[in-house]
């Protein structure tokens, strides 16, 4: 297994600059992971498709109308809708988690850091979307920050390995700016292969990454990464992904994600 750092480790910055990613071990404890999964699962559809921006009520509602319709009694419906506010606030509180912001700020010369968007990816065992294998892509191919300051974190809510669809990176590929890419539908795609496919003449070694439940991956926006399908019959591989940017940096908002500075 590759190196996993404690939150307080002094070598995080060096490792991140050199490798374009860093893994913080047990950032969330198991109880917090279970709480998170329980709450967000209330909003999943049958195929457990990813949920875009569950921290924004307008996004959450737009993705769960089918669930609301299925509830028979008006009182129950009202209770379900009433919970949305509380739950979006909970997801938002994770995006704005002080420990996360402080650590990301350390990686970016102590600049102020703001969240832009979030996404829940379930890869729940035995569902349609478990077979999702993200093609090798740079997250910054969407946001297009010219200075390469776009960052994504993935909080792993399950143990993640080759069997249940873990992630891989193209080693040190963050050092070459934004590559050309083949555009792909990356939200509710039909081919189970989302992610703008990076195209480069350079050859990079593939490094598979392994995670314990509660680990947090911090990704440089220009590091090419992807993931394998979840072939496990039993083990889901869920993660909550949040993207960030330092103050005053430019980015593309995007039609689906609608990235915006969240204060
Ligand atoms: O969930 C995965 O396997 C990868 C997700 C990812 O890279 C992304 O959302 O940009
Ligand atoms: Fe990604």
CA 109 to chain centre: 23
**106 in a structural domain:** yes
Q: Is the pLDDT of residue 30 over 90?
A: yes
Range of the domain at 160: 12-246
pLDDT of 217-260, one tens digit each? 999 999 999 999 999 999 999 999 999 999 999 999 999 999 99
**257 in a structural domain:** no
pLDDT of 145-159, one tens digit each? 999 999 999 999 999
Q: Is the pLDDT of residue 56 over 80?
A: yes
User: What pLDDT does residue 215 have?
Assistant: 98
User: How many Å lie between the centroid of ligand 2 and the Cα of residue 72?
Assistant: 38
**252 in a structural domain:** no
Nearest residue to 214 (alpha-carbon basis) of 32, 85, 10, 9:
32
The CA-based dihedral angle spanning residues 23, 244, 92, 212, taken in that order and rounded to the nearest 10 degrees? -10
**6 in a structural domain:** no
Q: Total domain count for the chain?
A: 1
Q: Could you tell me the pTM of the whole model?
A: 0.97
Cβ of 241 closer than 6 Å to ligand 1, yes or no, is yes
**94 in a structural domain:** yes
Which mutation among 170, 193, 195 tests ligand 1's pocket best, with the greatest number of atoms within 8 A of CB? 195
Tell me, what CATH number does 28's domain have?
A: 2.60.120.620
**251 in a structural domain:** no
State the chain's mean pLDDT as an integer: 97
pLDDT of 174-203, one tens digit each? 999 999 999 999 999 999 999 999 999 999
**254 in a structural domain:** no
Ligand at minimal distance from the CA of 117 is: 1
Residue 2's pLDDT band, with cuts at 50, 70 and 90, is: confident
């Amino acid at each position: 297994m590759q190196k996993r750092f404690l939150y307080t480790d002094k070598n995080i910055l060096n490792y991140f600059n050199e490798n374009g990613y860093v893994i913080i071990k047990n950032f969330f404890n198991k109880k917090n992971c279970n709480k998170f999964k329980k709450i967000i699962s209330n909003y999943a559809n049958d195929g457990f498709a990813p949920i875009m921006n569950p921290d924004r009520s307008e996004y959450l509602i737009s993705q769960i109308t089918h669930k609301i319709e299925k509830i028979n009694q008006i009182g129950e419906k009202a209770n379900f809708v009433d919970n949305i506010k509380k739950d979006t606030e909970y997801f938002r509180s994770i995006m704005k988690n002080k420990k996360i912001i402080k650590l990301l700020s350390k990686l970016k010369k102590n600049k102020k850091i703001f969240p832009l968007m979030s996404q829940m990816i379930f890869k729940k065992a035995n569902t349609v979307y478990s077979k999702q294998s993200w093609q090798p892509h740079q997250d910054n191919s969407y946001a297009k920050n010219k200075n390469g300051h776009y960052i994504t974190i993935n909080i792993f809510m399950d143990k993640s390995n080759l069997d249940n669809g873990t992630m891989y990176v193209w080693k040190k590929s963050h050092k070459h700016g934004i590559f050309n890419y083949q555009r792909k539908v990356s939200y509710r795609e039909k081919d189970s292969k989302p992610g703008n496919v990076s195209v480069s003449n350079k050859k990079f070694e593939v490094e598979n990454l392994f995670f314990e439940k509660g680990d947090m991956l911090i990704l440089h926006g220009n590091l090419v990464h992807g993931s394998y399908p979840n072939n496990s019959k039993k083990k889901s591989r869920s993660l909550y992904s949040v993207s960030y940017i330092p103050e005053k940096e430019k980015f593309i908002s995007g039609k689906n994600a609608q990235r915006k500075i969240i204060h």
